[in-house]
Amino acid sequence: MPEKIFCLSGRNDSFFSQLQYLTLGKVSLHNIESAITFLRALQKLTTKINILEFNGFSFEFTEKDNQLQLIHALISIIKSQDQLRLFSMTNTPIHILTKHYGIILALECQKNSLQEIIVENCDYSEEFDVLKNSKNLETLHLRIYCDYKIPLKILPYNKISTLEISDYVIKTKEMSLILEKSGILLQRLKIESRCSEIQDASVLLGMLRSFCPNITCLNITKIGFSTQLIEVIGNLQSLQFLTLMCIVDEVSEEEMKIRALNFAIILQSTLQYLDLIDNWLEPYFDIFLNHCNSPLRKLIIGSLNNEKSTKALIEFCV
């Protein structure tokens, strides 16, 4: 494999010298030597990569010599680029790197250009402290089994305007502290609970209302459809994009009618995009549409299963 690649690269130096986007797929024990050879050669050929994605290992990392060689080759790629804008590091849940072996530390060399970080299945280490010096870091994605210490440690030092926290279960206390530290700079927020309803959501919503009034894009998954949620959304004066998947199991039919109506009424005139995931509002969709005055450019729903909702949608679109 590496011989074929570099036979080609020898004739296409100009291609590799212009490379801007590199994804290193999940490395297995079978292809680790090829990955090392590729990265070492690539380091000599390109300095223009601005998006670098490392998808981790398909085996347990045991600090064997060739495994460390791969890490060092990756670090060399990070350091040798002129302007790395986005760095992504993801791992499988059973192969989490509890140490980072200088990978995150190497991002110190990109402190003037780095704008976006994506980490998945990642523990906190002191290496993340170097991100405090990243002058232009504005987007942070934390996905699945990520240590909440990562944002809590760096948020006071960065101007994060886009934040994603996606986990199987959202830790409400820590998430609330993150919102408090994010403050008025935060404009785009995604909170995704993949398995269960967000617990103690009132605390989280209180923090969102008090500290993050400038949200323009909000995406929340598996949160109770409460009157407090409706009020918080209504207070986001600059909201343009809204994605919601609400839990409504414990809300009575009569109360759902009231909340569907109130939800429609409070939506801002700034709202352009609305995605109602998983049909949670479908039985009351006609009520919602008949009272919604937001000039939506895009409305996403799962399905329409009754004539009243279909008629309301047609009238809404006319």
CATH number at residue 31: 3.80.10
Is 34 inside a domain boundary? yes
Is 95 inside a domain boundary? yes
Measured over the CA atoms of residue 141, residue 144, residue 148 and residue 149, the dihedral's sign is: negative
* pLDDT bucket at 265, cuts 50 / 70 / 90: very high
**pTM (two decimals):** 0.92
Domain that residue 77 falls in = 2-160
Is 222 inside a domain boundary? no
- So what's the pLDDT on residue 99? 80
How many domains in the chain? 1
**Helix ranges restricted to H, the chain:** 2-11, 13-17, 32-45, 65-80, 149-154, 172-182, 201-211, 227-234, 253-266, 285-291, 307-317
Q: Is the pLDDT of residue 163 over 90?
A: yes
Is 99 inside a domain boundary? yes
DSSP state letters, 201-248? HHHHHHHHHHH-TT-SEEEEEEEE--HHHHHHHHT-TT--EEEEEEE-
Q: Are 209 and 218 in contact (CB under 8 A)?
A: no
Is 136 inside a domain boundary? yes
Q: Are 101 and 71 in contact (CB under 8 A)?
A: yes
Q: What is the mean pLDDT of residues 79-101?
A: 83
Is 212 inside a domain boundary? no
Is 82 inside a domain boundary? yes
- So what's the pLDDT on residue 153? 95
Distance CA 63, CA 9 (A): 30
Vertex 88 angle, CA 122 and 212, to 5°:
80
pLDDT in tens, 214-242: 999 999 999 999 999 999 999 999 999 99
In the numeric block, the tokens 């002191």 are attached to: 126
Is 125 inside a domain boundary? yes
